[in-house]
A and B are shown apart, each in its own frame.
Chain A
Amino acid sequence: MSRPVADQPLHRSWLGARLKPLALLLPAAARRRVAIGLATAAAVAFPLLVSDEGDIDAAANACAFAVLALGLNIVVGFAGLLDLGYAAFFAIGAYVYGMAASWQLTPPWSEAWQPLAWLGLVSRFHVEGVPDVVHFHVSFWLMLPVSALIAAGFGMLFGVPTLRLKGDYLAIVTLGFGEIVPIVARNTPSLTNGAMGLNGVIPPSLFGYSFGVESTPYYYLGLALVALLIFVSLRLQDSRIGRAWMAIREDEVAAGAMGINRTRLKLLAFGSGAAFAGATGTFYVAKLQTATPEMFMFPVSVMVLVMVVLGGMGSVWGVVLGAAILQLLQSWFLQDLSEWAHALGRLVGSAWLQDVQLAQSIELIFGVILVIMMLYRRQGLIPAGRRVRALDAREQAVAATRGGIGARLSLLDGEAGLPTGAPMLETRGLSRRYGGVRAVNGIDLTVPAHAIIGLIGPNGSGKTTFFNLVTGLDTPSGGQVLFLGADVTGLAPHLLVERGIARTFQNLRLFGNMTVLENVLVGVHARTRTGALGAVLRPPRVRAEEAEARDWALEVLAVFGNRLLPRLDHPAHSLSYANRRRLEIARALATRPRLLLLDEPTAGMNPAETLELADQIHSLREMGLTILLIEHKLDVVNDITDKVVVFDHGEKIAEGPAAVVRHNEDVIRAYLGRAAAAA
């Protein structure tokens, strides 16, 4: 199968081009602040301006769906995990509160309930002639976080076995889960009142004032939830966690090889998405005071997905806009349009037009939106990617500086933790078989500290497979890998990065839609600790860590002089080929490795660029790194390696200084065939 190509660069927005003169009056940041301020003011004033209770109610529902869409955006947009059963977590949150604050469950009273009664969560209910029962009336405000936690728990539980599946399989599995949850709710009437639905769910109350059935308090509560979610999403997006999610979305294998614990981060995304859906479920059921299984079926999951797709996957403001548009469409526009159609029908005497119900056609519109957006505007109405000014002619013409040698790379420390005398890396009998093919067969290799070892051999001789075995991307069929004297055979890629092994890829695996700086910052992931909560709250420790990570990233990029530094904000896919190679090396360096594995670092570079890079690789050794490189350009190999190892048919056929090995008969035969060796 062919490898799919990366998305094309984002189109310039049609609206943006026309509004440009007006918009230029204010700088971008101020413009944004004004827009956000106006939107907030309008949202807060809405119930005062609108008198119709139905409109406020629709707006409150819109808030609930905006929260859902923002939650799904974390899963689909940030982490790239397509969840087609998102409504299941919405359902779980709804039923958890519904059962904890209604007459659905009435177990017989016993003294064991007394402590809960003292806390005000339940009470003893007395009816003449029958034994006393327990009435659950747990506070809405307590249940809001509790149901978020319970939904997150379900999300994690479901995610552990399923999140390692590839994209489309994961979508199907989540769809299955999304089907199962409402069916179970329907089939267990003792808990959920089945298809009839939960009734009489207690509305929230605040300082003794019950929300009851009025819409305005729910609207403000929903608005607060939306604001919270926007805040959380924006903070997460621009953090260690958000960058790791996007890296997984862009290229899962590369993300692992750059030190990201994929399982944990996917679970975190799935769990957070589920938590927000759970809290929304609680809000929604409290507002409606009822819950039926039909409220949480597949169409709901699709509707939320449509909001995300319409607004722009990964775009926080876009998703809010998408949710708002769809709700407007559903609640107001289609109703009005139906009435106009009826009027037109009476005018032209068409019976079909007279009783067409356009509100029914909302799902048709969903379908059309999905298809149109996917075909013509995959990045959504408000794309997540920032537009970046291209370098002007003068900037592009600036003479390239070499960097490298002068750069400090203060934090690399090749010596720490290395037992005296032990090699940096050692493999013993390392093998990998695919069926009957021996891709790598019994390789013994020793890489001393501070060495530059070249790995050469014809195409298909097992060099890249050897790299994959050492970096944990592939599991050996036999043999051992020892790093710093410790057995690391079969460890997950991110653990190897933590220990100090980093690599680049022969066929370039950058995170194409992330910027140059973000790509390098992903490399710092394994050396930083900020968690999701830290990323949202940003205490001083997190700010300091982030600042330090940025300084380090800039320092690493300085290795390549002014090649990459002026392009910090450019998406990686827009770079030239040579700069992409450089960026991959910078990203690997950012992980603070002791051992760096470079897979054909100069492939596709012209002779001048090749020499420059060879110099830079050489200077990395001066800074304390140990380097193993696969290379086909023999002058590079001759110039910078201490020793060359030759692979053929998965076996090591020669080893020694480059000048000696090139005269070895086996090597000549491997490269040029039997006749050449005999000549």
Chain B
Amino acid sequence: MSFGDILLQQVINGLSLGAMYALLALGFTLVYGIIELINFAHFNVFMMGSFFAMWVLQLLGVEGQSTVLTGWPLAGALILALAGTMLGSGVLGVVIERLALRPMRNVRGTAAMITTIGVSYILFNIILLTIGADTQNFPNPMPVVRWHLGGAVLDLREVLLWSASLVLMALLHLFVRHSRMGKAMQATAQDQEAARMMGVDVDRIVLLAFFIGSALAGAAGLVFGLYYNFTSFLIGYTAGLRAFTAAVLGGIGSIGGAVLGGFAIGLIESIGGQLLAVRWTDVIIFSILIAILVFRPTGLLGRMAPQKS
């Protein structure tokens, strides 16, 4: 393979990772945009999402890598898995907000963030203690269809993942821009008090943000499983931190920024790992995180003032 082919291959890989990070970053950004909370529970809502996806696929009779579907059955299985996962993780997000985070809404400082670390630990350990530490074989019903672009390979599943992610992002965009609830959401993000006085039910908006964000994290969990063919209780932390970096890079609070940041981090991970060494990828990504927060806390597209006092 020539260098150009390797680069192209890494771009393809990077876009797939990027689609996943973007979906996950949207959850961080939605919640932060509205209640200025960095939600560590999101890491493991994503992890739980991948388990939900696995269980839905298993219910549909897809086992491991052996069941291959094509045509309508494939489309149906994937759509059902996506819908079931998003619903499950969305509800999980709502439960977390309602039980653990709403009481902390008006508490000063970092207490709410510390609570989300606790929730994240609880989710993580629920899976660890019930399912165990073993890596799970993630059911993948997709047939192997490949296109060769020079030396690089493009998989059907990658194209499917990209398009599913893009559709979800477009739907979110339409929802926030044009629906009544979406507009209320934007208003709440800008000024909670004013929105409340205009008759917006802020509690419902926050709940909605958690539902949508967590549902998208669930979708990212499905993407993760289909992309890597495994899932485990451990996957939340690394992917979550990378996606959070993506949200910060794009400008936390900005929906477009989260998508842009997600793809950027995906590409940095794949191309950076290729050019330098995979074991240094995390150092690169965390250095970006620190550098952005220190030098340009509004990120690429952010609108949020970085230092409210």
- Closest residue of A by beta carbon distance from B96: A371
A300 to chain B, nearest CB (A): 13
Of the listed stretches B75-83, B103-111, B210-218, chain A binds B103-111
- When distances are taken between beta carbons in the complex, the residues of chain B under 8 Å from A161 are 294
Decide yes or no whether A164 CB sits under 8 A from chain B.
Answer: yes
A656 to chain B, nearest CB (A): 36
A179-B282, A305-B114, A364-B126 given; A173·B121 CB < 8 A: no
A357 to chain B, nearest CB (A): 9
A180 touches B287 (CB 8 A): yes
Dominant secondary structure at the B interface:
helix
Decide yes or no whether A366 CB sits under 8 A from chain B.
Answer: yes
A1-B192, A370-B115, A374-B115 given; A6·B293 CB < 8 A: no
Quick one: which of A357-379 are within 8 Å of B by CB?
A: 360-361, 363-364, 366-371, 374-375, 378
Quick one: which of B281-297 are within 8 Å of A by CB?
A: 282-283, 286-287, 289-290, 293-294, 297
> Which residue of the partner chain, among B109, B126, B293, contacts A165 with CB atoms under 8 Å?
B293
B283 touches A164 (CB 8 A): no
A1-B192, A366-B118, A371-B119 given; A165·B297 CB < 8 A: yes
Report the bound CA distance from A367 to B103 in whole Å. Answer: 17
- Closest residue of A by beta carbon distance from B190: A1
Q: Bits for B83-108, please: 1 = Cβ < 8 Å to A, else 0.
A: 00000000000000000100110111
B283 touches A166 (CB 8 A): no
Quick one: which of A138-179 are within 8 Å of B by CB?
A: 161-162, 164-169, 171-173, 175-177, 179
- When distances are taken between beta carbons in the complex, the residues of chain A under 8 Å from B100 are 371, 375
Report the bound CA distance from A80 to B307 in whole Å. Answer: 16
Decide yes or no whether A581 CB sits under 8 A from chain B.
Answer: no
Q: Bits for B271-309, please: 1 = Cβ < 8 Å to A, else 0.
A: 000000001101100110110011001000000001111
Report the bound CA distance from A122 to B250 in whole Å. Answer: 51
Q: How many A-B residue pairs have CB under 8 A?
A: 139
Report the bound CA distance from A367 to B37 in whole Å. Answer: 18
Q: Bits for A1-14, please: 1 = Cβ < 8 Å to B, else 0.
A: 11011110000000
- Size of the A side of the interface (Cβ < 8 Å), in residues, is 49
B121 touches A167 (CB 8 A): no
> Which residue of the partner chain, among B117, B125, B248, B306, contacts A364 with CB atoms under 8 Å?
B125
B125 touches A375 (CB 8 A): no
Decide yes or no whether B48 CB sits under 8 A from chain A.
Answer: no
> Which residue of the partner chain, among A1, A4, A371, A374, contacts B108 with CB atoms under 8 Å?
A4
- Closest residue of A by beta carbon distance from B248: A172
B118 touches A368 (CB 8 A): yes
B113 touches A171 (CB 8 A): yes
A173-B294, A184-B283, A364-B129 given; A2·B121 CB < 8 A: no
Report the bound CA distance from A361 to B124 in whole Å. Answer: 10
B293 touches A169 (CB 8 A): yes
Report the bound CA distance from A5 to B279 in whole Å. Answer: 45
A364 touches B121 (CB 8 A): yes
Decide yes or no whether A186 CB sits under 8 A from chain B.
Answer: yes
A6 touches B110 (CB 8 A): no
- When distances are taken between beta carbons in the complex, the residues of chain A under 8 Å from B308 are 1, 166
A14 to chain B, nearest CB (A): 20
Decide yes or no whether B9 CB sits under 8 A from chain A.
Answer: no
A166-B308, A167-B110, A184-B283 given; A367·B119 CB < 8 A: yes
B294 touches A82 (CB 8 A): no
- When distances are taken between beta carbons in the complex, the residues of chain A under 8 Å from B129 are 356, 360-361, 364
In this complex, the member of A176, A183, A366, A368 whose beta carbon has the largest number of chain B beta carbons within 10 angstroms is A176
Decide yes or no whether B244 CB sits under 8 A from chain A.
Answer: yes
Report the bound CA distance from A411 to B171 in whole Å. Answer: 68
Decide yes or no whether B74 CB sits under 8 A from chain A.
Answer: no
Decide yes or no whether B191 CB sits under 8 A from chain A.
Answer: yes
- When distances are taken between beta carbons in the complex, the residues of chain A under 8 Å from B126 are 364
B24 to chain A, nearest CB (A): 15
- When distances are taken between beta carbons in the complex, the residues of chain A under 8 Å from B114 are 82, 305, 309, 370, 374
- Closest residue of A by beta carbon distance from B295: A161
> Which residue of the partner chain, among A173, A183, A368, contacts B279 with CB atoms under 8 Å?
A183
- When distances are taken between beta carbons in the complex, the residues of chain A under 8 Å from B55 are none
A253 touches B309 (CB 8 A): yes
A168-B110, A179-B241, A184-B283 given; A374·B118 CB < 8 A: yes
B117 touches A370 (CB 8 A): yes
- When distances are taken between beta carbons in the complex, the residues of chain B under 8 Å from A363 are 121, 124-125, 128
A176 touches B286 (CB 8 A): yes
- Closest residue of A by beta carbon distance from B118: A370
In this complex, the member of A5, A171, A187, A371 whose beta carbon has the largest number of chain B beta carbons within 10 angstroms is A371
- When distances are taken between beta carbons in the complex, the residues of chain A under 8 Å from B115 are 370-371, 374-375
B23 to chain A, nearest CB (A): 20
- Closest residue of B by beta carbon distance from A352: B130
- Closest residue of B by beta carbon distance from A158: B290
A169 touches B237 (CB 8 A): no
- Closest residue of A by beta carbon distance from B289: A176
> Which residue of the partner chain, among A173, A368, A371, contacts B290 with CB atoms under 8 Å?
A173
A252 touches B309 (CB 8 A): yes
Decide yes or no whether A588 CB sits under 8 A from chain B.
Answer: no
In this complex, the member of A167, A172, A364, A375 whose beta carbon has the largest number of chain B beta carbons within 10 angstroms is A172
Decide yes or no whether A109 CB sits under 8 A from chain B.
Answer: no
B244 touches A172 (CB 8 A): yes
- When distances are taken between beta carbons in the complex, the residues of chain A under 8 Å from B297 are 165, 169
Decide yes or no whether B5 CB sits under 8 A from chain A.
Answer: no
Q: Bits for B120-134, please: 1 = Cβ < 8 Å to A, else 0.
A: 111011101100000
A412 to chain B, nearest CB (A): 30
Q: List 20 A-B contacts (CB under 8 A).
A: A1-B36, A1-B192, A5-B108, A165-B297, A168-B36, A172-B289, A172-B293, A180-B286, A187-B283, A252-B309, A302-B117, A361-B125, A364-B128, A364-B129, A366-B118, A367-B117, A367-B121, A367-B125, A371-B100, A378-B107
3 tightest A-B CB contacts, nearest first: A370-B118, A367-B121, A364-B125
Binding site for B on A (CB under 8 A): 1-2, 4-7, 80, 82, 84, 161-162, 164-169, 171-173, 175-177, 179-180, 183-184, 186-187, 252-253, 298, 302, 305, 309, 356, 360-361, 363-364, 366-371, 374-375, 378
Given pairs A165-B293, A184-B283, A363-B121, 18 additional interface contacts (CB within 8 A): A7-B107, A84-B117, A162-B293, A164-B307, A166-B307, A166-B308, A169-B293, A169-B306, A172-B289, A179-B286, A363-B125, A363-B128, A366-B118, A368-B122, A370-B115, A370-B118, A371-B122, A375-B103
